[in-house]
Structure 1
Amino acid sequence: MRIIAFYSPKGGVGKTAAAVNIAYLASQHGLTTLLWDLDPQGAASFYLSGAEPVKGRKLSKLLAGKAPVAEFVRDNVYPGLDFIPSHPSFRNFDIKLEEGGQSLKSVLAPFSEETSLVVLDCPPSLSRLTEQVLELSDRVYVPLVPTWLSLNSWEQLQAFVRSKKLGRKKLRPFFSLVDRRKKLHKDLIESPDRRLGEPLSVSIPYASVVERMGEEGLPLEVLAPATPAAAAFRQLWAEIEKDL
């Protein structure tokens, strides 16, 4: 079982859209996939259910050993794609992990035999949960809007990873919400700042059709597969598949 995470210390950078689309594409390429929405805001849950309210289970029951993790899973949201929806109680994930004496690794252990890929959609915070995600994941994909503020947040993330000795080599930045009409976006993509190292070659465009994912409750490959944004996510998946 491989584990990847989509994480950014900044919100509103297209992290959840990437997590949902990559999880869907992985499942369509023969990988039994589990997507876990760890963010208490529940954006991934909304992308997969549209306007229908998501009734997730309380985290405390899982971490206290009062309910098996299987009870939290929505099986076959799409063929090959299982899903653990968010719940408001996830805002206390760090505290509950400590109180229950468990780790994210132990919670995910029951999936190891039947699941090929776990995709974690993470909240935009630097916390104990973030540490566990960074430590556990084989790769961490970090979407960056091509702005100087995003580069600053990237440096902060690298500093955090260094301080916790979590392994910087697993971090994989890529550009997201790209608007090539903006000079700064175009310049940073064509000549990436040296602080990024070697970002993934794909750039996810800013597109209204991505916003429609929430309205329709569908991944782009289902909603609008012929669009440039859907093609960009397919390219992103190809790079991730090769990376793994």
Structure 2
Amino acid sequence: MRTIAFYSLKGGVGKTAAAVNIAYLASQAGVSTLLWDLDPQGASSWYLAGTEDVSGHKLSALIKGKSPIAEFIHQSEYPNLEFIPSHTSFRNLDVRLEQSDSNNLIKEWLAPLSEDTSLVILDCPPSLSRLSEQVLKASDATFVPVIPTWLSLNSWNQLQAFATDKKLKPSRLHPFYSLADRRKSLHRELIDAREKHLPSGLRTIIPNASVVEKMGEKGAPVERLAPASIAADAYRRLWQEIRGIIG
């Protein structure tokens, strides 16, 4: 079983959209995939639940060992794709992790799933916290969307510094440009100078496209909404890069 995360210090950078689209594409490639929505806002749960009314469970039962993680899993409407919905109690997860003696509860919780799941995708809330630390430790690779702006690049640099400080193997962090709009001069400038500003970045650039925004309205991945779109093609290329990294 491989575990990857989509993570950013900034909100609104296309993190959840990337997590959901990659989860869908992985499942369609025959990879048994689980997406865990760790963000209390629950956006990826919304995308995958569609019109179904899905409620997550309180984390207390999992933390106290009263319920195995398998009881938190829901089957999506897509073959090979399951998800753990978010719950408002996730906002207290950092506190619970701080109180635990475990080195990495996230990794321990996921371990029993290895027989039935090939890929776990963690959709993380935007913060620097104990949860961030455990997610980065538990993940074989972490993918970081970066908008082509100075503020977003600064957040990427902060994340690198955090990983270095916590000895979390910064080499496992993989940034990629997201919500890119070449009509904006700054976006063009930073994209064209990618080797300078984002030298370790993936080659794929996710565009700022209206069809990505429609995911929230329709509750479906871009590949289902507009498979011929530029955005759908970009996510397909992103999935191929990710697959090459995780094996």
Q: After TM superposition, is the score higher than 0.5? A: yes
**Relative to structure 2, which stretch is displaced further, 37-46 or 91-100?**
91-100
**Relative to structure 2, which stretch is displaced further, 93-102 or 170-179?**
93-102
Q: Distance in 2 between matches of 1:86 and 1:230?
A: 25
Aligned to 1:64: 64
Q: Tell me how many residue pairs correspond in the alignment.
A: 244
2:32 pairs with 1:13? no
Instruction: State the TM-score, normalized to the length of structure 2.
Output: 0.95
2:169 pairs with 1:167? yes
Aligned to 1:24: 24
2:122 pairs with 1:120? yes
Query: How much has 1:113 moved relative to structure 2?
Result: 1.3
SS of 1:114's equivalent? Answer: coil
SS of 1:199's equivalent? Answer: coil
**Relative to structure 2, which stretch is displaced further, 5-14 or 110-119?**
110-119
**Relative to structure 2, which stretch is displaced further, 203-212 or 48-57?**
48-57
Aligned to 1:46: 46
2:224 pairs with 1:212? no
Paired AA for residue 236 in structure 2: R
Please tell me whether the aligned partners of residues 3 and 118 of structure 1 are also in contact (alpha carbons under 8 angstroms).
yes
Query: How much has 1:98 moved relative to structure 2?
Result: 4.0
Which segments of 5 or more consecutive residues in structure 1 lack a partner in the other structure? Answer: none
SS of 1:113's equivalent? Answer: coil
Aligned to 2:203: 201
- 1:95-145 deviation per Cα after TM superposition (whole angstroms, max 9, x unaligned): 223445551111101111111100000000000000001111111000000
Query: How much has 1:76 moved relative to structure 2?
Result: 4.4
Please tell me whether the aligned partners of residues 64 and 100 of structure 1 are also in contact (alpha carbons under 8 angstroms).
no
- 1:53-101 deviation per Cα after TM superposition (whole angstroms, max 9, x unaligned): 5311111111111212111100243100010010000001122234455
Please tell me whether the aligned partners of residues 7 and 124 of structure 2 are also in contact (alpha carbons under 8 angstroms).
yes
**Relative to structure 2, which stretch is displaced further, 189-198 or 56-65?**
189-198
Query: How much has 1:201 moved relative to structure 2?
Result: 0.7
Query: How much has 1:223 moved relative to structure 2?
Result: 1.4
Please tell me whether the aligned partners of residues 206 and 231 of structure 2 are also in contact (alpha carbons under 8 angstroms).
yes
Over the aligned positions, Cα root-mean-square deviation in angstroms equals 1.4
Structure 1 runs (4+) deviating above 6 angstroms are: none
Query: How much has 1:190 moved relative to structure 2?
Result: 1.4
2:226 pairs with 1:224? yes
**Relative to structure 2, which stretch is displaced further, 41-50 or 110-119?**
41-50
Which segments of 5 or more consecutive residues in structure 2 lack a partner in the other structure? Answer: none
Q: Distance in 2 between matches of 1:75 and 1:36?
A: 12
Equivalent residue in structure 1 for 2:183, among 165, 178, 181: 181
**Relative to structure 2, which stretch is displaced further, 139-148 or 41-50?**
41-50
Please tell me whether the aligned partners of residues 50 and 215 of structure 1 are also in contact (alpha carbons under 8 angstroms).
no
Q: Distance in 2 between matches of 1:116 and 1:76?
A: 16
**Relative to structure 2, which stretch is displaced further, 140-149 or 93-102?**
93-102
Please tell me whether the aligned partners of residues 77 and 83 of structure 1 are also in contact (alpha carbons under 8 angstroms).
no
Please tell me whether the aligned partners of residues 178 and 185 of structure 1 are also in contact (alpha carbons under 8 angstroms).
yes
